[in-house]
Amino acid sequence: MNILDSIKTSILTPIHPAGIPFIALFFILTIIIGWLWSPLYYIGFTLTLWCVYFFRNPPRVTPILSGTNTNNLIISPADGKVIEVSDITPSEDIGLPEGKWKRVCIFMNVFDVHVNRSPMLGQITYKKYVPGSFFNASLDKASDENERLILNMDTENGKKIAFVQIAGLVARRIICEVDIGNSLRAGEIFGLIRFGSRVDIYFPSDVSVMILKGQKTIAGETIIGDFSKNAKPVKEKLDEK
């Protein structure tokens, strides 16, 4: 793909509806400040393009596990970088049964796609909003102290998972478009976070982890875990950069 094709593809990428008011506001402000002093047109136009870029919502192709009717793959709920893969006892707020669970934390910077997608096929059984601080979302304490929205899902294969939208240093608005009782397909959009944030996902400790710390993920496409009994977990580590 040449540069022209790349630019054309970016322009034609769909925009999440939550971004339209912001794009319109940036555009109006550009007209106003440009009328006051023409060189400001360039600054306003650049910021408007960045806003369009931030709220982009590119189509994704979610993988399926062939040869079975069960929903065994856990798919990344967010674009970003894996900053933690660990065994943890979740806090009571998460709403999961007591015991050890796997947790994968994905940090989204302001240049990542911020549309969040369902990790599996299943039904939402628990939803909780927790007010909190706005620390840098890459810090460990962000999981327990930042503003967050928690969802639990009963998956098609009879298991429980949880995924948590966490606000960050700049992000001040969590958007969640589902409620208890709603069903989601794997890879289906359920919300987004403005403007730089994190998503944590919890799943049973015996599930094979298919992701590495330091790896980049693509929402709706990257495989995080696999419930299949014959799945081989990924155990190597990527060099942190």
d(CA 173, CA 197): 10
> What are the tokens at 1?
């793909």
The strands making up 189-194's β-sheet, listed across from edge to edge, are 115-117, 189-194, 173-176
The helix (H) or strand (E) run that includes residue 44 is: helix 40-54
Count the helices and strands in the chain (H runs, E runs): 4, 14
Q: Which CATH class is domain 73-226?
A: mainly beta
Among 83-97, 137-151, 188-202, the range of highest mean pLDDT: 83-97
pLDDT, tens only, 98-141 = 999 999 999 988 788 889 999 999 999 999 998 877 666 777 77
The pLDDT of 78-83, averaged and rounded, is 94
Indicate which residue of 197, 205, 208, 228 is catalytic. Answer: 197
Residue-range domain boundaries for the chain: 3-54, 73-226
pLDDT at 180 over 80: yes
pLDDT for position 213: 93
pLDDT for position 67: 45
Residue pair 130/150 in contact (Cβ under 8 Å)? The answer is yes
pLDDT for position 33: 84
d(CA 2, CA 135): 40
> What are the tokens at 184?
């989601």
128: helix, coil or strand? strand
Catalytic residue flag (residue 228): no
pLDDT, tens only, 195-232 = 668 899 999 998 999 999 999 999 999 999 998 766 66
Other Cβ atoms within 10 Å of 170 Cβ, number:
14
pLDDT for position 171: 53
pLDDT at 185 over 70: yes
The mean pLDDT value of the chain amounts to: 83
Other Cβ atoms within 10 Å of 183 Cβ, number:
14
d(CA 136, CA 74): 26
pLDDT at 9 over 60: no
